[in-house]
Structure 1
Amino acid sequence: MTLTDTAIQELVQLWFSGLNEHRPMVRMLPLLDLEHLHMEFPESTLTTPEEFEGWYRTVTSTFFDQEHIVEEVLTEVQEDRANLSVTVVWKAHEWKAPAPFSTRIAMRAVQEWTVVAGENGQARIQRYVVKSLTPIGEEGGTHG
């Protein structure tokens, strides 16, 4: 199946809105190519559905009030696969037990994705690599 720009943009939107809203795992897993999954984050590399589920549980219990602002998506489509360069601003509160307050964080992430067409034509993330994560200015500090 051929990937369309519309399917790719929809996937990007669904992925980041899902992270923002802490959508249930059953709504996030269909966005991934679970048979060939490769995800690299600063803290870990994931290659199985179980590893993704553990990572997702951790980030949804650590980060809240998340906002992902997509700044740029560069796409190179080759029929049933696409290479993406994604730049996103990520803002969130982070709470680490037993800290009395959360911390506001703001980062610019540059990511490389490989997206493939699933059996139903839906775009799925096969490879997701965070290439850089850079702090950006924010009205920061700690918040109670």
Structure 2
Amino acid sequence: MTERLTEKSIRKLVDDWYLALDRHDEFETVRAMVVDDGLEMRFPETTARGHAGFGEWYKAVTHKFFDELHVVTGVSVAIDGDQATVLVRVNWQASIWNPPAPRSTWLGFDADQTWVVVAGPSGPRIKTYVVNDLVPMAGSAAL
């Protein structure tokens, strides 16, 4: 049986998602926040499909970025039965080290995203995750 979608449960998913990314949680923890079938995640650098594609992306970013901080600046939820469209605005800041550079560099971006979230057995899960726009903050290094 699936739990009914609510704005509160979806907002909790958004918060939990970014906390997990900031902490670089184990893959199984973040995998539980996405659907088992039909997952599509579109990032500026790649499109990841299914758990395998998502796992490859997650391993790459957790080994590349550090001191990450995601601050959600806006969430708009439109629920239609067992599915919701979620517009997310998030400020993402991180450090990156590109060997053999002598120092790490700072990254800062404002991201505009659209998620499709579906009802799952233990709460909402991400089915589609699209980064629509990524705007660099003043002083940010390029990705």
Residue 131 of structure 1, CA deviation: 0.2
Residue 94 of structure 1, CA deviation: 1.0
TM-score between both structures, scaled by the size of structure 1 = 0.92
Structure 1, 95-104 or 69-78: larger mean CA deviation: 95-104
| Map 1:20-59 → 2, pairs under 5 A | 20-59=22-61
Structure 2 gap segments, 5+ residues each:
none
| Map 1:1-144 → 2, pairs under 5 A | 1-120=3-122, 122-138=123-139
Separation in 2, partners of 1:2, 1:114: 15
TM-score between both structures, scaled by the size of structure 2 = 0.92
Provide, for residues 56-110 of structure 1, a one-character-per-residue CA deviation record: whole Å limited to 9, x for no partner: 1110011000000100001101121100110000000011222221110100000
Structure 1 gap segments, 5+ residues each:
none
Provide, for residues 5-46 of structure 1, a one-character-per-residue CA deviation record: whole Å limited to 9, x for no partner: 111011001100000000001100000013010100001001
Residue 123 of structure 1, CA deviation: 0.5
Residue 136 of structure 1, CA deviation: 1.1
| Runs of 4+ off more than 3 Å | none
- What is the letter of the counterpart of residue 9 of structure 1? R
Structure 1, 48-57 or 94-103: larger mean CA deviation: 94-103
RMSD: 1.3
